[in-house]
Amino acid sequence: MSGHPMVAHEVRRARAWLSRAVEPGSVAMWRFVEEAGPVAAAAALRAGAAPPAVQALAGARVGEDTSIDDLARAERCGARLVVPEDDEWPVQALHCLTVASAREAPDAAVDRTLSLVPPLALWVRGERPLAEVVDRSVALVGARASTAYGEHVAAELAHGLAERGWTTVSGGAFGIDAAAHRGALAAGAPTVAVLACGVDRAYPASHSALFARLLDDGLLISEWPPGCAPLRHRFLVRNRLIAALTRGTVVVEAAARSGAQATAKRARDLGKQVMAVPGPVTSAMSVGCHQLLRDTERAAVLVTSATDVVAAVGRMGEGLELPAEPPARARDSLSDVARRVLDACPVRAGVPPERLAAVAGCTVVDVLRVLPALELAELVEWTGTGWRVTSTASRA
Amino acid sequence: MSGHPMVAHEVRRARAWLSRAVEPGSVAMWRFVEEAGPVAAAAALRAGAAPPAVQALAGARVGEDTSIDDLARAERCGARLVVPEDDEWPVQALHCLTVASAREAPDAAVDRTLSLVPPLALWVRGERPLAEVVDRSVALVGARASTAYGEHVAAELAHGLAERGWTTVSGGAFGIDAAAHRGALAAGAPTVAVLACGVDRAYPASHSALFARLLDDGLLISEWPPGCAPLRHRFLVRNRLIAALTRGTVVVEAAARSGAQATAKRARDLGKQVMAVPGPVTSAMSVGCHQLLRDTERAAVLVTSATDVVAAVGRMGEGLELPAEPPARARDSLSDVARRVLDACPVRAGVPPERLAAVAGCTVVDVLRVLPALELAELVEWTGTGWRVTSTASRA
């Protein structure tokens, strides 16, 4: 349970240390780790040798190292630390965060942890491989102070999605979240709760039985190491992961100006489908859904059933969230490195070779070596500011 | 109560005869009456001398003439026959039907009575002038088999519209229609029921008290003369009038594939705003509303309150339903005939001078005489197939 044996222990330990030493969601920190590598990044931060702006993000915790304890504690509760170097890392799902982080200004958001940036590592509790479970998944989110109507609809949607082979991802909270998890469980399907605290903690406490049932076949996921408390701002950081891991987000019930609308906005920013369930206009818990549906700019799709949801996430098609497979023959003739660089290319905004190297897990020299062949095969193109896949490649 | 004294009795009697002799909603019949004039048209039909296709529409009833009885019967119940020649004829509201009928193929729909064509005359019961009452009006329509939720929302919408100075128009039926009328009455505002039977009949019978209250300040309207029965197909013909007389149509509750969706489509075809109220996805009576809201082509606006409705009909702006006033100075310098011809010009599809003459109530020679001046003032333009107002004129 302690991770794939192919990944060096020092890498996993470095990322475990990072997951406690720094709050996730900072684009400056993520870039520093991507560029230096996790081991060197952790060493630099411990030595106080990281660039000042990055060093400041680690703060007082750099003197401590509880990474061995954290990994052991995870193992005791049936959890593991999944790192980007693992096979089960959800590369495809999280690609949208890599693309989004490339849009952030280089000097941006040093002081904030709400950037659309990939996680440095994920603590995962449950047996099944992470990437496989979230591959065909939809987020069902909504109010904690839900109504019986909203809970009924959330459970029905999750149940129907399960029957169609889709995984429901939610936040494990009271109300809509819990109803969604329960609906999936009732259909005998895996469901995923992305938490804002350690995966060894049941929060809310009254959900310990629900989480125990969920762990039979599903997963609890968190960016924070075991024992961490569900601090208020962590929910906002966590919400980007729910949006990123899934093909689309359904808001089942939401009050006016609620967090669910913010989650929906993030899903939209990540190129994911945003959906909302209508309800009685007399219900305060449907006001947020109706606002989403009326906001033509945000383009939320009205859904009333699991069939609607599957149709809506299906409609997103290629080109919005993930580069589709390029033509088989052109792709087959590529080297392993070239293939990884191609997979690292975003669909819309072009990114520099440095970023491609970071995502593909190779050197910048490697990237510059394979790009001409990819360009010649019309698989990638230069936008003037960076590289992206061509429409030909993403359509194929 | 028997109409404006300026309109010749023979004209009113001819239109009364036509309203019983032919079913409304036929474009061929409407064109024949527009071109020949009501008196000559009625005479030709009675003599069997109308073009065969038109004559066939009148059928066996041409031998009878109960027009004097019908007008007397109307007067006895406080009703009158309003004709296009009357001042209170709702020219502006019905303009959309004139435009729509111009789009029909010349040989089209001889055998059907569901064309988007203006009425030949309207039987109106109630004191207030028709054009004034429907000037700022919205249609609230929906299922007869409504739920308590739908009735509550319909009543609240009508009440809120009344408070904002808007008249609610509906069909006087069970369910949503009745709730809408009651909501307007509760606010002490006039409300209009457009019926598919004679205005002297209470249909449904249990609504006789509702209609009596409605007549204190509102109107009952019908294309059919007193005593006519609410035949099934007449409801469909009637529905186009509800859509046409109002600035927009709100569907409050509707089952899947219901008549309310058809009404919404007609409203859309007439350039009117289509709105729908969401409801519980668990309610069969909201399925039709949700279908309308999901149909991006039909572009229904989600409304949850009277404020939403007023904002939506306001957004339609000029150019879609009515030509706005041209610049004051250009207009003030026009002759009476020129002004009427300008008012007769549609906003989108151009129409031939014959049509302008029919709508403006003057001769084709008059139209051809004033068109050059209107064109010179950049108030009208030739589209290649007909005349319409310029964007300058309709924006001003």
Q: How far apart are CA B84 and CA B68, in angstroms?
A: 19
Q: What is the pLDDT of residue A103?
A: 79
Q: How many CB pairs below 8 A link A and B?
A: 50
What is the distance between the terminal CA atoms of chain B, rounded to a whole angstrom? 37
Nearest to B293 among A153, A287, A293 (CB): A293
What does residue B122 show for φ and ψ, rounded to 5 degrees? -130, 125
What does residue B248 show for φ and ψ, rounded to 5 degrees? -170, 160
Q: Chain B: nearest CA to A281, how far in angstroms? A: 5
Q: What is the pLDDT of residue A317?
A: 47
Q: How far apart are CA A385 and CA A382, in angstroms?
A: 7
Q: Please report the sign of the dihedral spanned by the C-alpha atoms of residue B242, residue B246, residue B252, residue B256.
A: positive
> CATH 3.40.50.450 region(s) of chain A?
130-316
Q: How far apart are CA B123 and CA B223, in angstroms?
A: 6
B281 touches chain A (CB under 8 A): yes
Nearest to B290 among A149, A152, A304 (CB): A304
Averaged over B48-62, what is the pLDDT? 87
Q: How far apart are CA A27 and CA A107, in angstroms?
A: 9
Among the four given CATH numbers 3.40.50.450, 3.10.20.30, 3.40.30.10, 1.10.3720.10, the one describing domain A130-316: 3.40.50.450
> CATH 1.10.10.10 region(s) of chain B?
328-395
Mapped onto helix, strand or coil, the DSSP state of residue B64 is coil
Q: Which residues of A touch B302 (CB under 8 A)?
A: 278, 290, 293-294
Q: What is the pLDDT of residue B263?
A: 84
CB B169 within 8 A of CB B126: no
- The pLDDT-based confidence of A341 (bands split at 50, 70, 90) is confident
Within a 13 Å sphere around the CA of B186, how many CA atoms are in the beta-carbon half?
Answer: 15
Range B130-315 has CATH code 3.40.50.450: yes
Q: How far apart are CA B294 and CA B290, in angstroms?
A: 6
Nearest to A304 among B281, B305, B308 (CB): B281
Q: Which residue of A has its CA nearest to B293?
A: A302
CB A178 within 8 A of CB A166: no
Q: How far apart are CA B240 and CA B250, in angstroms?
A: 14
> Above 70 in pLDDT, residue B345?
yes
Nearest to B278 among A149, A152, A278 (CB): A278
> Above 80 in pLDDT, residue B288?
yes
Nearest to A280 among B280, B301, B308 (CB): B280
- The pLDDT-based confidence of B85 (bands split at 50, 70, 90) is very high
Q: What is the pLDDT of residue A105?
A: 66
Q: Please report the sign of the dihedral spanned by the C-alpha atoms of residue B239, residue B241, residue B244, residue B246.
A: negative
Q: Chain B: nearest CA to A311, how far in angstroms? A: 12
Q: Which residues of A touch B153 (CB under 8 A)?
A: 281-282
Q: How far apart are CA B326 and CA B342, in angstroms?
A: 9
Q: What is the pLDDT of residue B109?
A: 47
- The pLDDT-based confidence of B156 (bands split at 50, 70, 90) is very high
- The pLDDT-based confidence of B393 (bands split at 50, 70, 90) is low
A351-364 pLDDT, tens digit each? 888 888 887 878 77
B11-42 pLDDT, tens digit each? 999 999 999 999 898 889 999 999 999 999 99
- The pLDDT-based confidence of A393 (bands split at 50, 70, 90) is low
B179 touches chain A (CB under 8 A): no
Q: Confirm whether pTM is higher than 0.80.
A: no
Scanning the structure block, which residue is given the tokens 């790192």? Answer: A83
CATH number of B328-395: 1.10.10.10
Strands A219-222 and A122-125 come out as antiparallel
Q: How far apart are CA B79 and CA B72, in angstroms?
A: 9
ipTM above 0.90, yes or no: no
Edge-to-edge strand order for the sheet containing A137-141?
A: A79-82, A122-125, A219-222, A191-195, A167-170, A137-141, A248-251, A273-276, A301-302
Find the helix or strand (DSSP H, E) in which A359 lies. helix A353-360
Averaged over A332-354, what is the pLDDT? 80
> Above 70 in pLDDT, residue B198?
yes
For testing contact with chain A, the best of B147, B157, B253, B281 (most A CBs within 10 A): B281
Q: Which residues of B touch A281 (CB under 8 A)?
A: 153, 277-279, 304-305
- The pLDDT-based confidence of A330 (bands split at 50, 70, 90) is low
**Selected residue with higher pLDDT from B38 and B373:** B38
